[in-house]
Chain A
Amino acid sequence: MEPWRIYALGDRALTVSFGDTLSDLLSETVLSLQQALQADPIPGVEECVPSYATLTLYYDPAVVRASLPGPPGLSVSERLASHLWQRCQQPTPTGSASSPRLVEIPVCYEPDFGLDLDLVAVHAGMTVDEVIELHLSRTYRVYLIGFVPGFPYMGVTDPRLDIPRRAEPRQRVAPGSVALAGRQTGIYPLETPAGWQVIGRTPWTLFDAKRTPACWLSAGMEVRFRRIGLEDFASTSQPWP
């Protein structure tokens, strides 16, 4: 396991870093700490945000100052870091108590939706159908939600699908666009600029502020893709957690 550390992200946030690699174990460790902090919150800590191998805590310095006594001369940031360090020494349950929830997401890979499928196939030296087969062949872990509301960073894809981001990002892609970059796959939940290679589209909604939770996926979930044709695109109904 890589050495872990705590560093300040400005004067209102701290990051606990468990490493810098793409690994399910590190991701589990991050989510375990997040759960532990939710179960036994530190007063003044307002949000915990997981990433691949880091958990970032946003806090209100005035509240933390009042709630965490420390020697004079020690900053609030240092006090909170010291407290967190002690918390991290305590054994945290490895892995989540329940097995990760698996969801299956329908994807239509028709050329109108899979804008970069041909390019990915050329890059990988295979046919479009082989690219689709490889994309369907794995169960992916949601490492984090970021970039824009509801965008899941998922991995890891088959090494043969490893492809760089587009040199020039698209100005706009349609919501539901399924894309590849590096050894990752993701879904654009909103009409946004997009730097990843778009290979298909899901008819499902990933982000809806009117629902609870607003975000359909969350870090730690597992995702499989199911191929659908154009005729099914409008007719698949979506469960919401």
Chain B
Amino acid sequence: MALRMVKPGWMPALQDAGRKGHRAQGMPLSGAMDPDAYRSANLLCGNHPDAVALELTLHGASLMAEAEVWLAHVGGGSLLYINDVPAPMGRLLRVAPFSLLTFQPAGRGCRSYLAMAGGFAAQIDLGSGSTYAPARLGGVQGRSLQAGDLLTPAAPGRVLTARTQLSIPIGPDGWGAATWGMDVRLDPATAPDTVRVLAGAEWEAFSTEARQAFLEASFRVHPDANRMGYPLQGPALAAQGLGSMRSTAVCPGTIQVTPGGTPFLLMSDAQTVGGYPRVAHIFSADLPACGQLRPGDDLRFVLGSISEAEEALEGRQQWFRGLEASVRCRFDA
């Protein structure tokens, strides 16, 4: 069971839930930019939600199945075609050998996840298979994937019950899809127009006008956006009387403001410390959807309370447990 990278497209890389526990050594968390989509794709394949999956950014990649594979595709930025026929998102897919998977443009979103039953085999560094290229950690030799790379499952994977297997026959186009899966209307993988934030540690250091502008203006994701973070174009936000701050902790979801007044939303590969004032932090419940923002997308911020943030996160976790419960019965224990 294996997939061969035929055409990489834009920097595809293996990711998991991140390299936790090493931030005191300056190690970024890394991991999937949209953890909700990534974990959902794994669940649909009968994997542990934190198994290694393939993160695709926008469209353009193509892969060849060199054996029969069981896959699931969840996220934004691309639509999966198998042998030139569109395959449904959020469904377990059974793919015949020598099928060609291509990722075509989608109207919205930026990142999608291809999970494979058993999870992808990856180089495990400091407990994680997440690719972190600057230190050449995780993934395939610590880099994004190249044409010719062979991707194999890490483990045999859970076995589908005989009834479920029979319900997914391979059709004339070389693949079949489960009739069950995620409710796409609840699909998390669309880019948000508005995200909720908590006031940052330096919120008070910004002028009333700057705070007002932050909450009322629309910000556009800059073309330089990457896995470290997104510069946001909009009104300049001036912080007052801070001088030069000592570097202190920042994390994915932190919005720091550069001396020029540009807000910068930190994402998965963000550095562990920063010296710029932190105007706000994205609700953890809203951060996965920020992984779906592409350059040019517009974004607004609305201020919430810590209790609302915790409740929202609890809600996301409940939604996820519901998905987990609904697919578990399809697989043998």
* Residue positions of A touching B, CB distance < 8 A: 7-13, 15, 17, 20-22, 46-54, 56, 58, 61-62, 75-78, 144-151, 153, 182, 190-192, 207, 209-210, 213-215, 218-219
Contact residues in B for A219 (Cβ distance below 8 Å): 24
Given contacts A51-B273, A144-B273, A215-B25, contact A56 B283 (CB under 8 A): no
Q: List 20 A-B contacts (CB under 8 A).
A: A8-B281, A8-B306, A10-B198, A10-B253, A10-B281, A11-B281, A47-B23, A49-B273, A50-B24, A51-B249, A54-B249, A58-B251, A61-B310, A75-B310, A78-B306, A145-B26, A148-B271, A149-B27, A214-B22, A215-B26
Inter-chain CA distance A9–B281, complex, in Å, is 7
B125-167, CB under 8 A of A: which get 1 and which 0? 1100000001101000000000000000000000000000000
Contact residues in B for A144 (Cβ distance below 8 Å): 247, 273
CB < 8 Å neighbour of B21 from A47, A54, A190: A47
Docked-complex contact B125 and A209, CB < 8 angstroms = yes
* Residue positions of B touching A, CB distance < 8 A: 20-28, 125-126, 134-135, 137, 198, 201, 244-251, 253-254, 271-273, 278, 281-284, 305-307, 309-310, 313-314, 317
Contact residues in A for B27 (Cβ distance below 8 Å): 149, 214
Inter-chain CA distance A51–B278, complex, in Å, is 16
Q: Nearest residue in B to A182 (C-beta to C-beta)?
A: B244
Contact residues in B for A210 (Cβ distance below 8 Å): 125
Inter-chain CA distance A76–B22, complex, in Å, is 24
Q: A10-B254, A11-B281, A146-B26 are in contact. List 17 more A-B contacts (CB 8 A).
A: A9-B250, A10-B198, A10-B281, A11-B283, A11-B310, A13-B251, A47-B21, A49-B273, A51-B246, A51-B249, A145-B26, A147-B272, A148-B26, A148-B134, A190-B135, A207-B135, A218-B25
Docked-complex contact A149 and B26, CB < 8 angstroms = yes
Given contacts A10-B254, A75-B307, contact A51 B248 (CB under 8 A): yes
Contact residues in B for A62 (Cβ distance below 8 Å): 314, 317
Docked-complex contact B247 and A153, CB < 8 angstroms = yes
Q: How far is the CB of A221 from chain B (nearest CB, A)?
A: 13
Inter-chain CA distance A209–B28, complex, in Å, is 13
Contact residues in B for A151 (Cβ distance below 8 Å): 26
Docked-complex contact A48 and B24, CB < 8 angstroms = yes
Docked-complex contact A76 and B25, CB < 8 angstroms = no
Contact residues in B for A15 (Cβ distance below 8 Å): 201, 248-249
Inter-chain CA distance A219–B247, complex, in Å, is 14
Contact residues in A for B245 (Cβ distance below 8 Å): 20
Q: Which 9 A-B pairs have CB atoms at the shortest separation, nearest pair first?
A: A10-B281, A56-B249, A146-B273, A11-B309, A215-B25, A209-B125, A145-B26, A51-B248, A75-B306
Q: How far is the CB of A132 from chain B (nearest CB, A)?
A: 26
Contact residues in B for A52 (Cβ distance below 8 Å): 246-248
Docked-complex contact B24 and A22, CB < 8 angstroms = no
Inter-chain CA distance A213–B282, complex, in Å, is 32
Contact residues in B for A145 (Cβ distance below 8 Å): 24-26
Q: Nearest residue in B to A193 (C-beta to C-beta)?
A: B134
Docked-complex contact B20 and A47, CB < 8 angstroms = yes
Contact residues in A for B272 (Cβ distance below 8 Å): 49, 146-147
Docked-complex contact A192 and B134, CB < 8 angstroms = yes
Docked-complex contact A147 and B134, CB < 8 angstroms = no
CB < 8 Å neighbour of B25 from A7, A22, A150: A150
Inter-chain CA distance A94–B126, complex, in Å, is 32
Inter-chain CA distance A76–B205, complex, in Å, is 26
Inter-chain CA distance A225–B46, complex, in Å, is 54
Q: How far is the CB of B136 from chain A (nearest CB, A)?
A: 8
